[in-house]
Amino acid sequence: MAPNASSELKIFSLAEVQQHNTPESLWMIINDKVYDLTKFAMEHPGGEEVLFEQGGQDATEPFNDVGHSSDAREMAEEYVIGRIADDERKSAKAAVGDNSKAVPWSEILLSPTWTNFLIPAGISILVYATYRTASKLLTSF
């Protein structure tokens, strides 16, 4: 749909969105797009309180965490009023093209989830140690 093509959307700064954090003017960011949910809040099946809590903020994570249906995602498109400026986008640096779902490498590398590295590293050390022990045992015969 042309009006929602990212390149044609009105561009907002984070500071601008942050000002709309009340039930009277309720904006939030989901996947780098800006939503005006002032009118939708009352109709939201998950209640208006959860939306008020996210007012003026980036609600991408809470939105995804709920596991919203594809109907909900489609519904959301009705409330898009613009997008976040390129240099302020969360996914700006590493996103390939306009694929805002791509997880930037920097995020993976700097992730506090050390298990990303520790598990493979642990397995490698274990395999190496097993190999060394096995070859020592074999050569000792």
Residues that bind ligand HEM (CB under 6 A): 35, 37, 44-46, 50-51, 54, 59, 62-63, 66, 68-69, 71-72, 75-76, 79
Nearer to ligand HEM (CB atom), residue 69 or residue 133? 69
| End-to-end Cα, the chain, rounded Å | 73
- Cβ at position 33, least distance to ligand HEM in Å: 9
Q: How far apart are CA 21 and CA 140, in angstroms?
A: 73
Nearer to ligand HEM (CB atom), residue 101 or residue 105? 101
Nearer to ligand HEM (CB atom), residue 38 or residue 105? 38
Q: How far apart are CA 23 and CA 45, in angstroms?
A: 16
